[in-house]
Amino acid sequence: MTVGLRLPWILLLAALGTEASAAPDSEETTRVACLGDERTLGTGLPDPRLAWPELLQARLGDRFAVRSFGAESVGWTAGELGTTLEGLATFHPEVVLIALGTHDAAKDASQEDILAKARALVGEIRRASALARIVLLIPSPEPGRPSLDVGLQEVVGPALRQVAFETRCGVLDLHRSLQSDAHRWARGPRPHPFEADAIAARVAEHLLLDVDPPFDLATHLPEPTRVTSFHGFRCLELTMDDVACRIVLPERAAEGHPWIWRARFFGHEPQLDVALLERGWHVAYCDVAGLYGSPTAVARWERFYDRVVSAGLDERPILEGMSRGGLIITAWAVAHPERVAGLYGDAPVLDIRSWPGGRGQGKGSAGDWKACLAAWELTEETVTDFRGLPIDRLEGLAKAGVPILNVVGEADDVVPVAENSDLLEKRYRELGGTIQVIRKPGVGHHPHSLEDPEPLVRFALAATGRWKPPATIAAPSAEYRGGAAGWGGGIWLDQHDKILAAAAARPGLRLVFLGDSITQSWTGSGDRLSRVDGARPFDRFFAPFDAASFGISGDRTEHVLWRIDHGEFEGIDPEVIVLMIGVNNINAAQHDGASVAAGTLEIVARLREREAQATLLVLGCFPTGARDSAARHQVDLLHEILVEQVRGDARVRYLDLRSHFLTESGELHPKRMAGDGIHLAGPGYEAWGEALLPVLHELLGDG
């Protein structure tokens, strides 16, 4: 027993421990315990099935058994531990997720108090479940309560990171990684389904990570001079060839041992580095201060690269260059394109004449300019016509297909964009290279990076073949719409159950429409089956084919995938399935057209495997937004990919019906499209039905 830790709230957690869904519990399953407050318990949600442990179980599937240990109004400092953790010990968890801290921030708890209580809880859990891996979750953002949000960021987060470092626990920063979603749950203290869904998605990604647990890079490197905490992770400070180096180790290394190589300003704006550490990446740094990307700097990096790659890191890292760090990452990449997976430049210096030379629009730096010329063995005269800078030698990099991402402030007067990133972008595109630039309007040279690092994370994962678009990952929806969306109450899972019941009631269905609200509106959510004597357009058009509408309002590709995986086609063998999905991915989730196409093709693959007897009519999605809007461009991209990818498959037919819903000038049809620019009006359903009938008669006969 820990002296002074006697309040019984943890006993309440043990007593309240509930299985999330009905995942089988066997030797093959990974048991996951979720400890937390009412967000974990699900108090105040429209339905307890929308608590994040329940949604986590739904995402993880039968390989995991998730149990919730949630209780009201608890925090790290809300009480002291009881003498036992009997419920947790009986469960024998292999992973314990601890989601606490919001109430501590609300009560202005001190960092020292949180540290003491968190250390104690970790110790108690390890005594009760010695083999369990513990992961501390820094609570998600509180956009509706600014002072509380500051407490989470400045008090709770640092305390939990320190505990993670001291106790070798894992740590997940939900506060940072869920920033872009937080506007969806700006509310008071009670849980929100969208927050629960976002937590479940991030935790599931973490638990499903392919890892190499035995790998410890530290055992293959020189003895560090010091081991410090880098945001909760072990940072080895060491010397290689008389050069100061740092390597930060993830709690568990991802398979293949990916790494990001930081150039200059180690630890400044570390959002991307921390996010990748959470995903099993290493972060490396080799000092090249004062060398300005010169051949001497490249030679130093070559020696460092050989050491860490021979110790087990991947041969192709992501290079990260902030400000003047842009010089060395470009120089290294140009010299060794086969050793680079991608380049991320943040307000990067790319031409020494711009900075530190100050020969253009920028201010320059006289002291740095003198040192830079010396490092490059140039003079004021010879540098003018020098064409040996990395930005002048991009051909090999473009030929190797190395992607580049730059983040720039458009008002940067230190490293002017026109003389650096814009120059790189122009030349790289002309050479056929792939480059993306994220521009921050009105921002100068500082601040660097992005508050929400997710776009940077996506780039790193995609460049190394590790990115899996959310549109392709089967997941239930956290929607809880009522009458306005045509559900008439209940949550999304209720709609799924009703579709299961409809399929069971009509096992002879020949035609099934699968999709979102546009599909649901054929019938509404009450009676999804066609009726020979019915008066709805759906009945008039499709009753001869024995049809059903399996559309659910708000659905995206990932939700349709989950529905297919969870039985919506069991017991029926339709001859034709009409798939129309994607507009909510583009409009609501902000997925790009390529990601939506990937999700759509994943649905096609599932259906081809499970419903081999059916012909699939793939419609993409109908047009949305103004003619030149971003949404319309993504819809167009979706269709461009689909038409190429499904070509040649006799059981899959791509139908592009967009022209039926556009005017000759490309605007949305004023009578066939609803005022929101997404849904169809009554005449739109008439047009849709008329367009489908010839194909359906060909495939199904006259019904």
Which residue in the block uniquely carries the two structure tokens 């199904």?
Answer: 700
Q: How does DSSP assign 628-695, residue by residue?
A: TSHHHHHHHHHHHHHHHHSTT-TTEEE---GGGGB-TTSSBPTTTB-TTSSSB-HHHHHHHHHHHHHH
Residue 19 — very low, low, confident or very high, per pLDDT cuts 50/70/90? Answer: low
- How many angstroms separate the Cα of 674 from the Cα of each of 58, 398, 483, 624, 681? 34, 45, 18, 10, 5
For residue range 55-97, list pLDDT tens digits in order: 999 999 999 999 998 887 777 775 543 434 667 888 899 999 9
pLDDT at residue number 85? 61
Identify whether the C-beta of residue 459 lies closer than 8 Å to the C-beta of residue 405. Answer: yes
Identify whether the C-beta of residue 673 lies closer than 8 Å to the C-beta of residue 684. Answer: yes
Lowest mean pLDDT among 132-136, 176-180, 460-464, 527-531: 176-180
Q: How does DSSP assign 364-405, residue by residue?
A: --HHHHHHHHHHHT--TTTTTT---SGGG--HHHHHTT--EE
Residue 6 — very low, low, confident or very high, per pLDDT cuts 50/70/90? Answer: very low
- State the Cα–Cα distance between residues 283 and 668, nearest whole angstrom: 49
For residue range 466-477, list pLDDT tens digits in order: 999 999 999 999
Could you tell me the pTM of the whole model? 0.92
For residue range 658-695, list pLDDT tens digits in order: 999 999 999 999 999 999 999 999 999 999 999 999 99
pLDDT at residue number 371? 97
Q: Which residues contact 70 (CB under 8 A, 6 or more apart)?
A: 13, 16, 34, 35, 36, 37, 38, 39, 40, 41, 42, 43, 51, 53
- State the Cα–Cα distance between residues 67 and 88, nearest whole angstrom: 9
Name which residue leads in pLDDT, 604 or 89. 604
Residue 422 predicted with pLDDT over 80:
yes
Mean pLDDT across 248-264: 97
Mean pLDDT across 319-341: 98
Residue 189 predicted with pLDDT over 80:
no
**DSSP for residue 436:** E
Whole-number percent of the chain with pLDDT over 90: 82
For residue range 641-650, list pLDDT tens digits in order: 999 999 888 9
Whole-number percent of the chain with pLDDT over 70: 94
**Tokens at residue 533, please?**
């004597």
pLDDT at residue number 22? 45
Residue 595 — very low, low, confident or very high, per pLDDT cuts 50/70/90? Answer: very high
**DSSP for residue 152:** I
Identify whether the C-beta of residue 180 lies closer than 8 Å to the C-beta of residue 195. Answer: no
Instruction: Identify the CA nearest to 685 among candidates 518, 561, 552.
Output: 518
Residue 483 predicted with pLDDT over 80:
no
Residue 82: helix, strand or coil by DSSP?
coil
For residue range 274-312, list pLDDT tens digits in order: 999 999 999 999 999 999 999 999 999 999 999 999 999
* Mean pLDDT, the chain, integer: 92
pLDDT at residue number 485? 59
Which residue type occupies 540? R
Other residues' Cβ atoms within 10 Å of the Cβ of residue 299: 12
Residue 368 predicted with pLDDT over 60:
yes
Which residue in the block uniquely carries the two structure tokens 């063998």?
Answer: 573
Dihedral angle over CA of 621, 624, 628, 631, nearest 10: -70
- Domains assigned to the chain: 9-207 (3.40.50.1110), 217-467 (3.40.50.1820), 483-700 (3.40.50.1110)
Residue 8 — very low, low, confident or very high, per pLDDT cuts 50/70/90? Answer: very low
Identify whether the C-beta of residue 475 lies closer than 8 Å to the C-beta of residue 543. Answer: no
Q: Which residues contact 421 (CB under 8 A, 6 or more apart)?
A: 345, 347, 348, 350, 406, 408, 437
pLDDT at residue number 87? 75
